[in-house]
Chains A and B, each alone.
Chain A
Amino acid sequence: LAKTTQPISMDSYEGQEVNITCSHNNIATNDYITWYQQFPSQGPRFIIQGYKTKVTNEVASLFIPADRKSSTLSLPRVSLSDTAVYYCLVGALSGGYNKLIFGAGTRLAVHP
């Protein structure tokens, strides 16, 4: 299963765009890239998922280059409430189920 590497922490200010990059050099052909957000003492919440190129939804964009060895989560105009841990996961069926490996994530702090 492909491992992911992402920065341990990032700081930003309200209103700025935040880009969190995740590397996954050993991504397999049938692997998808998924990002989750987690607030303290809560369960992770799905943000966005993609396979290649660009995916956009109401909260974020996900950019995936052609080689798929990395991906970038883009959060437009962050607010204080975006302070959370963001997890990049790469996974597909393994032994018949969705095996997701959560690393330590990126701790994003948004400042006023």
Chain B
Amino acid sequence: DGGITQSPKYLFRKEGQNVTLSCEQNLNHDAMYWYRQDPGQGLRLIYYSQIVNDFQKGDIAEGYSVSREKKESFPLTVTSAQKNPTAFYLCASSSSAGRAGTDTQYFGPGTRLTVL
């Protein structure tokens, strides 16, 4: 059963705490992405990775960190420096990281983070 999994589905965090969101894919995709979605808004790119051990900042990377030690895993850490972390976080992956045209991004089910 192939796809992208994110865990946990719901996450609660106290102010000042770091928290890590998990994203795993078994699609053998090269590229992985993290997005943030606020209520009634579209998705905004936080970080992306084209290949293992390499990642780039997206449009709203401040207060977030990532790692890409394995092809199938791309965890996102929301640090205490993120001023307004309450949001819906989505992970995605796509097969190509360098070919022309656009490749479909496949999304996980999301993690809803709430800061108490």
Q: Do A and B bind each other?
A: yes
Which A positions have Cβ atoms within 8 angstroms of B?
30-32, 34, 41-46, 49, 51, 87, 91-93, 95-105
A42 in contact with B110 (CB, 8 Å) = yes
* Cross-chain contact of B110 among A30, A32, A41 (Cβ < 8 A): A41
Q: How far is the CB of B112 from chain A (nearest CB, A)?
A: 7
B103 in contact with A98 (CB, 8 Å) = yes
Q: How far is the CB of B39 from chain A (nearest CB, A)?
A: 10
* Cross-chain contact of B42 among A97, A99, A104 (Cβ < 8 A): A104
* Cross-chain contact of A92 among B91, B101, B108 (Cβ < 8 A): B101
From A31, which residue of chain B is reached at the shortest CB distance? B102
Cβ of B31 under 8 Å from chain A: yes
Cβ of B114 under 8 Å from chain A: no
A32 in contact with B101 (CB, 8 Å) = yes
* Cross-chain contact of A98 among B31, B41, B107, B112 (Cβ < 8 A): B31
From B96, which residue of chain A is reached at the shortest CB distance? A98
Chain B contributes a number of interface residues (CB within 8 A of A) equal to 33
From B50, which residue of chain A is reached at the shortest CB distance? A97
* Cross-chain contact of B105 among A41, A46, A101, A104 (Cβ < 8 A): A46
The digit string for B94-116, where 1 denotes a CB below 8 A from any CB of A, is: 10111111111111111010000
> Given A104-B40, A104-B42 in contact, is the A44-B107 Cβ separation under 8 Å?
yes
* Cross-chain contact of B100 among A30, A34, A105 (Cβ < 8 A): A30
B107 in contact with A45 (CB, 8 Å) = yes
From B95, which residue of chain A is reached at the shortest CB distance? A98
A96 in contact with B102 (CB, 8 Å) = no
A49 in contact with B102 (CB, 8 Å) = yes
Pairs of residues from A and B, 9 with the lowest C-beta to C-beta distance, nearest first: A43-B107, A102-B42, A102-B43, A32-B102, A46-B104, A103-B42, A43-B90, A104-B42, A44-B107
Q: How far is the CB of A101 from chain B (nearest CB, A)?
A: 8
